[in-house]
Structure 1
Amino acid sequence: MRRNRRRLLRPVLLLFVLLVAGIVVFYSEIRQPEAPIDRFEDRALNKAPRSSPIAVRPDPAAPSPLPTMSISLKLMEVPNPELAGQFLRMWRVSGQNICGALRQAGIEMSEWKAASMRNRSYECYFQRIYERDEVRPISSTFVKVRGNEMGDVVEIRAKLIGPTTDAEGRLAPAVLRIFEIIVTQACWRDFEDTLASIQNLRNIEYERFGSYLSFTREAGSGNNFNFVLGLKATSASQVRTKTFFSTERWLTTTNPRLMDSLSTSLEANCAQ
């Protein structure tokens, strides 16, 4: 009987030990479920053969990449006088050149010179009397460009007395040509619309951004007209723009390209 009990005890103890070992292994697997999986996946990836890199072919339909752009570190440059002419009312041509342009058009303007020996103002003028009575002209044209000794234009005036007109009452082309040249030389594009009123001898008083143009019938006279074109830098926008484009408020530069832009003559062609 004792021998039979010993034989049965050994298998029972072995089963008990195996059971306990299984329980321990089971609980350890529950606490760290991901580690073996990660190790397994790492081993699988390491054992897998590495594929050769695939060459990506450019899509012909796709747009080409944008060209590289180099941006200057200096984003703001000193004012350019030619750009100033687009925002700031200023004469971009000298009085001498306006007189020359009128002479080239066949208008016998005088030379640009001092008004008198003791006067620093300069001028050129044109006057033609077509008809007169014993006291005064009945039909005449008078034009004067006035400025200073530096050549800067201050004002342009004209006076028409009994101007010649066509059958529809429009100003003669030869006289209208005078105003066309003046407005073109000023390079103020928005003033070109006033030429239609001048051609039809209609009153117009035009003032915009620091400049003015006036063409009006003389009071008390049936057929006399006065024309004035000049600067009037009194508006706030004019003052602010003039201050911005003033080179005195900007640091000097040694860049030759910028120095050339500052020294550009004001005789630039406004058609560009």
Structure 2
Amino acid sequence: MGAGPRSLRELHLPRPLQVAVIAPHPDDFDAIGATLRHLHMQGHAIEVAVMTNGANGVDGEASTEEKTALREEEQRASCAFFGLPPGRLHFLRLWEQADEDELAGLRAWMAGRRPDLLFLPHGNDSNRTHRRTFEAVRAVAAEQGLNAWACLNQDAKTADMRVDLFCGFDQEEADWKACLLRCHRSQQERNLRTRGTGFDERVLQVNRGAAQALGSALPYAEVFELLRLGPAQEPARAASHTAS
């Protein structure tokens, strides 16, 4: 794809690409919603795998099962708002049992698809589940001989990354993205309570900062580092961090 940073909106991609979004938690799909919307509107086929149940992100006395159901329903609602067909959203619920083959679900999901382009979190992130997702996808891609580009996205807890690719967007699309993010009501309320700002605004703050760092003419940007996956994939740049 060449040296960056390059604008995704200016690239001429072959159609239709098979795009896999591998999200650590319910809501990580939405953090790169503008990029995925652009690809969706260009006719590329998007499928989403949510790695974990996200129950730890829900406060209160409800059971794990109830919290899981809530997070997954919020993700279904956001994907419906986005326009993703329901059959393209998959919940893998990995790492719930200590004795399970922890990557079996991911192996099976990836084996049934041969994505041309993957979106996943950057490994240089203070969130442990983001790091585990990055490491798991790299491992399975190498096992299966998958030869594809991975777009490693910036998150609020990403420590450092190289920017190779970006998708800038304007205020109108930021308003759309805020609506998408607010589908995750549990996260919106939790962020308001614990941080004094909503989940929507927290994500858009990251996007504003990225656009400013790029010197973009647009006020917001989602940014990515490119990594080639496969048997001869690049060395990992992920750093060790304390779990959070």
Normalising by the smaller structure, the TM-score range is under 0.3
TM-score, L = length of structure 2: 0.24
Instruction: Select the structure with the greater relative contact order (CA < 8 A; seq sep ≥ 6).
Output: 2
Which protein has the bigger helix share? 2
Q: Give TM-score scaled by structure 1 length.
A: 0.22
